[in-house]
Amino acid sequence: MAPNEVESLVRDWLTSERMEIRDQPDERAVSHMLVRYPAGRNGHMFAVVIPKGRDLVAISSMTRVDGGQQKSMKELMDEDDVEWKAWVHECRMQLIASGVDWSVHMGRSGEERPGPLQAFNVSEPIWFDGLTKNELMQTLRRLWLAKLGVIHEIKYTFGAGTGSPGPVDDWEKKGMQGKSSGKSGTGPAKQVEIDETMTFGSGFDPSEWV
């Protein structure tokens, strides 16, 4: 299938599931759509991207950790560094077990101790020859559940937070701090903010899909 045909199919499938689509300008992509999954106010924002020069659809979602939760993480780092490292290890293992591609953005407290967890990303590609409506929707579902697993771990250990996103050092270095424009809903929105502004490949991880 040609990229334009894939774009039309994906758009029709998402529309048939009553999912809102917002097109994003992206010079590196044939199509860059933002969708909310699950549909409704409690859904999370996902980028559905067809990169130029590739025969795949890349689906990705970035989650930004609440500032209050980051503060609690720093307190744990100071009080019990071993417990903090064990918590980070468990989060990484949970993401590995989810079977999706992922990356984490850690702040720094000195050169030797990375933390707190400031943001994390989940993503997964679907190559054109395996693209069906079922695979598209199941991929969104897998990524959403992988996100929820980490979000609930954060909330269980570090509380609900303040409702305001914390800093992300990696984005600050790239001049992208404070560019988020949408939240994930009334539940998880107390803990996370979804960044909708970065083009695929410049801020999303992993960037090897472009």
Q: How confident is the model at residue 173 (pLDDT cuts 50, 70, 90)?
A: low
List of domains in the chain:
3-209 (3.30.1460.10)
Which pLDDT band holds residue 39 (cuts at 50, 70, 90)? confident
What distance in Å separates the CA atoms of residue 10 and residue 7, rounded to the nearest whole number?
5
Mean pLDDT of 133-160: 95
List pLDDT tens digits, range 187-209. Answer: 333 333 334 333 333 333 333 44
The answer to whether the predicted template modeling score (pTM) of the entire model surpasses 0.85 is no
Q: Quick check: helix, strand or coil at residue 66? A: strand
E strands within the chain? 21-23, 29-37, 44-51, 56-65, 101-108, 114-127, 192-194
Query: Over 80: is that where the pLDDT of 166 sits?
Result: yes
Which has the minimum average pLDDT: 28-32, 103-107, 164-168, 188-192?
Answer: 188-192
Q: What is the mean pLDDT of residues 157-171?
A: 88
The set of residues, in sequence order, having a beta carbon less than 8 Å from that of 28 and lying 6+ positions away, is: 51, 52, 199, 200, 201, 202, 210
